[in-house]
């Protein structure tokens, strides 16, 4: 036998029946996005490496150590498996001049790739759901996006998710704060860990994002960017706060929330749960008014968020317990090849009428005993068995046997499939 091949470490197969939970989540998302008038966008999984170096930022964790980058063997292009999709969406918007006639509201889902240490809620291939509003400068769109994420969690029935909010102001405000920050950290240079020492000059704001507990007191005592905001930045934040409050969303200010990416300005936020251990951030986002210019586009205000779908599903499992999984409406029992030729067209009619049917599968030599077929019918979870026996077929009929409720049997005319098909159809094929 040949050697067995396995999935790449940190990259997961999503198998049935688990995949049904993903489909249900995606369905909920699609409906909700439609209600907020956000439109779906699908961009490539592979992008030029420069897109993330410039967009995500040279001194971010993602670009410094997490990207799957490679050279195209055939033409030498430097490419990267996308670690996030905001730069890809911005690139597409610039390339196709999407905002020429006004703002655009977009959403996406798909796999992202980061070379991190795999653990619960942290994988090397993971799925993000994201929403981006391009071409809007007003704080009401920041609030709308946060309401959208909040609404999704509500719709899914999730609880105990807190909303943390901060403002990163505009570049001039960040410059002033940066100087104060460097002074503060220099005065305490002996307390800085290696990561922080490296970032002191390149990106001191990022030090506030540290996960090292030993650094916390120093970070707590650091100058707050909030205290460096001018009037306009302060007003922007206040409008977001008051709209959230008006819509019944509780929030708290976290002055140390800086987010891991370089492109943010004004509003930044996270939706966090304490129920998933260290991987508790479900959704993170903010305003990124500077990104389009960095990528060679016209100045375009924009705001968005990304959400980790594995973490959302994990929390759903924690809080909602086991969910019902899809089963077929009917299982077709097939005695022999003659019956098969009659049965298959009927199954096609049933499917066209919206009935979910699982057909018994045999070999070229036969289909097995009724007993073994009924065992499989039971295991499939179907509510009904359709029995295409020789006697029934001779009368132009099929027997419908209820597998769950007392085993009642009914004869149905094959010529009238359309009239009884709907009696087989369950109202909720999915969770
Ligand atoms: P963290 O601090 O957990 O590393 P992040 O700041 O790197 O998160 P973002 O880049 O903001 O995360 O991505 C948005 C969301 O995507 C996160 O809030 C999280 O839910 C999810 N996410 C990020 N990295 C991973 C990963 N490696 N595996 C699974 N989900 C992830
Ligand atoms: Mg990260």
Q: Are 264 and 60 in contact (CB under 8 A)?
A: no
Q: Angle at the Cα of 85 (from 80 to 73), degrees rounded to 5?
A: 15
| pLDDT value at residue 202 | 85
- Minimum CA distance residue for ligand 1 atom 25: 122
For residues 343 and 350, what is the distance between their CA atoms, to the nearest angstrom? 11
Question: Which among 340, 162, 186 is positioned nearest to 251, based on CA atoms?
Answer: 162
Q: How far is the CA of 359 from the centre of ligand 2 (A)?
A: 46
H or E stretch at 103: none
Which atom in ligand 1 lies closest to the alpha carbon of residue 281?
A: 18
What does the pLDDT average to over 7-33?
Answer: 96
Alpha helices in 96-165, H assignment, sequence order: 139-155
Q: Is the pLDDT of residue 430 over 80?
A: no
**Ligand 1 mutation target, pool 126, 278, 316, most atoms within 8 A of CB:** 126
For residues 169 and 234, what is the distance between their CA atoms, to the nearest angstrom? 8
> Does residue 286 sit in helix, strand or coil?
strand
Residue listed under structure tokens 């085993």: 407
* pTM of the predicted structure, to 2 decimals: 0.92
CB under 6 Å to ligand 1: residues? 84, 114, 116, 121-123, 126, 128, 260, 279, 281-284, 306-308, 310-311
Average pLDDT, the chain: 94
> Does residue 328 sit in helix, strand or coil?
coil
CA distances from 314 to 21, 118, 308 (A): 10, 15, 10
Q: Are 391 and 364 in contact (CB under 8 A)?
A: no
Q: Is the pLDDT of residue 426 over 90?
A: no
| pLDDT value at residue 405 | 76
CA distances from 270 to 273, 325, 372, 376, 397 (A): 10, 31, 53, 47, 60
| pLDDT value at residue 322 | 65
The burial class, CB within 10 Å (0-12 / 13-18 / 19+), for 142 is buried
CA distances from 258 to 174, 236, 243, 322 (A): 11, 17, 22, 36
What does the pLDDT average to over 388-400?
Answer: 95
**Ligand 1 mutation target, pool 11, 308, 313, most atoms within 8 A of CB:** 308
Q: How confident is the model at residue 201 (pLDDT cuts 50, 70, 90)?
A: confident
Q: Are 250 and 93 in contact (CB under 8 A)?
A: no
| pLDDT value at residue 211 | 85
CA distances from 339 to 329, 331, 346, 411 (A): 20, 15, 11, 16
Q: Is the pLDDT of residue 371 over 90?
A: yes
| pLDDT value at residue 37 | 98
Q: How confident is the model at residue 43 (pLDDT cuts 50, 70, 90)?
A: very high
Which atom in ligand 1 lies closest to the alpha carbon of residue 84?
A: 10
pLDDT digits (tens, 9 = 90+) for 286-341: 999 999 999 999 999 999 999 999 999 999 999 987 677 789 999 999 999 999 99
- Minimum CA distance residue for ligand 1 atom 8: 281
Domains defined along the chain, listed by start: 18-169+229-320 (3.30.930.10), 330-424 (3.40.50.800)
What does the pLDDT average to over 204-216?
Answer: 89
Ligand that lies nearest to the alpha carbon of residue 114, given by its number in the listed order: 1
Residue listed under structure tokens 């996406």: 108
What does the pLDDT average to over 88-93?
Answer: 98
Q: How confident is the model at residue 429 (pLDDT cuts 50, 70, 90)?
A: very low
- Minimum CA distance residue for ligand 1 atom 23: 308
For residue 397, list its beta bridge partners.
413
**Ligand 1 mutation target, pool 282, 306, 309, most atoms within 8 A of CB:** 306
Q: What are 113's two structure tokens?
A: 């790739």
Residue 277, by phi and psi: left (phi above 0), alpha (psi -120 to 50) or beta? left
Establish how many alpha carbons lie within 13 A of residue 327's alpha carbon, considering only the half-sphere containing its beta carbon: 19
pLDDT digits (tens, 9 = 90+) for 236-281: 999 999 999 999 999 999 999 988 677 889 999 999 999 999 999 9
Q: How far is the CA of 352 from the centre of ligand 2 (A)?
A: 46
Q: How far is the CA of 304 from the centre of ligand 1 (A)?
A: 14
Q: How far apart are the first and last CA of the chain?
A: 40
Q: Is the pLDDT of residue 427 over 70?
A: no
Q: Is the pLDDT of residue 110 over 80?
A: yes
| pLDDT value at residue 273 | 97
Q: What percent of the chain has pLDDT over 70?
A: 98
């Amino acid at each position: 036998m040949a050697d067995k091949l396995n999935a790449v470490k940190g990259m997961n197969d999503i198998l049935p029946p688990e995949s049904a939970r993903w489909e249900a989540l995606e369905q909920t998302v699609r409906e909700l996005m439609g209600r907020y008038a956000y439109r779906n966008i699908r961009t490539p999984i592979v992008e030029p490496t420069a897109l993330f170096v410039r967009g995500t930022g040279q001194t971010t964790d993602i670009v410094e150590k997490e990207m799957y980058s490679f050279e195209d063997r055939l033409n030498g292009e430097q490419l990267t498996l996308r670690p996030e999709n905001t730069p890809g969406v911005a690139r597409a918007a610039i390339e196709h001049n999407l905002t020429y006639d006004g703002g655009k509201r977009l959403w996406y889902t798909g796999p992202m790739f980061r070379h991190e240490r795999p653990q619960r809620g942290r994988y090397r291939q993971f799925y993000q759901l994201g929403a981006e509003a391009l071409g809007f400068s007003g704080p009401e769109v920041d609030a709308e996006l946060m309401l959208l994420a909040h609404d999704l969690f509500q719709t899914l029935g999730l609880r105990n998710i807190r909303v943390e909010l901060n403002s990163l102001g505009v570049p001039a405000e960040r410059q002033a704060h940066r100087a104060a920050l460097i002074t503060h950290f220099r005065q305490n240079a002996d307390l800085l860990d290696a990561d922080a020492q490296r970032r002191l000059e390149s990106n001191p704001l990022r030090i506030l994002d540290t996960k090292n507990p030993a650094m916390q007191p120093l970070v707590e005592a650091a100058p707050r960017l909030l205290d460096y905001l001018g009037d306009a930045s302060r007003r922007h934040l206040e409008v977001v706060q008051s709209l959230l409050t008006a819509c019944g969303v509780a929030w708290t200010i976290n002055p140390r929330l800086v987010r891991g990416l370089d492109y943010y300005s004004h509003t930044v936020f996270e939706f966090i749960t304490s129920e998933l251990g260290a991987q508790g951030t479900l959704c993170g986002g903010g305003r990124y008014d500077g990104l389009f210019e960095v990528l060679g586009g016209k100045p375009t205000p924009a705001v968005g968020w990304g959400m980790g779908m594995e973490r959302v599903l994990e929390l759903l499992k924690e809080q909602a317990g086991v969910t019902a999984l899809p089963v077929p409406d009917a299982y077709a029992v097939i005695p022999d090849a003659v019956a098969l030729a009659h049965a298959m067209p009927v199954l096609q009619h049933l499917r066209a009428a919206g009935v979910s049917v699982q057909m018994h599968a045999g070999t070229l030599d036969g289909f097995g005993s009724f007993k073994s077929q009924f065992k499989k019918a039971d295991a499939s979870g179907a509510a009904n068995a359709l029995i295409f026996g020789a006697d029934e077929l001779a009368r132009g009929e099929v027997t419908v046997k209820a597998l769950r409720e007392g085993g009642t049997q009914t004869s149905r005319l094959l010529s009238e499939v359309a009239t009884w098909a709907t009696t087989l159809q369950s109202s909720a094929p999915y969770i």
